[in-house]
Amino acid sequence: MKREVYDDHLEKLEIELAAMARWAKATGARVLVLFEGRDTQARAVRSMQSRQRSIRARSGS
C-alpha cells in the first residue's frame, strides 16, 4: 500500500477511534481496543496521545 493511501486510511480510523473515545467518556462505557502489527503499539500510543490532546483542547479541559 502506498504511503499516501495508508495515511488516508489511518486518518479515517483515528477519527473513528476519537469518536469512540468521546462516546465511552460520555456514557461511562468500558472499551478495550486491540491493535495488531509489529510497530502498532508505538503508533497506537502516539495516536491516542494526539487524539486525547485534541479532545481536551476542544472540550476546554
Q: What is the pLDDT of residues 16-53, one digit of tens each?
A: 999 999 999 999 999 988 777 666 666 777 777 888 88
Give the pLDDT confidence score for residue 28 in this predicted structure: 94
Rounded Cα gap, residues 19 and 27, in angstroms:
12
Reference 24, options 43, 50, 42, 51; nearest CA is 51
Give the pLDDT confidence score for residue 35 in this predicted structure: 74
Rounded Cα gap, residues 7 and 5, in angstroms:
5
Reference 7, options 15, 51, 33; nearest CA is 15
> What nine digits make up the cell of 61?
479541559
pTM tops 0.75, yes or no: no
Give the pLDDT confidence score for residue 33 in this predicted structure: 85
Rounded Cα gap, residues 48 and 6, in angstroms:
18
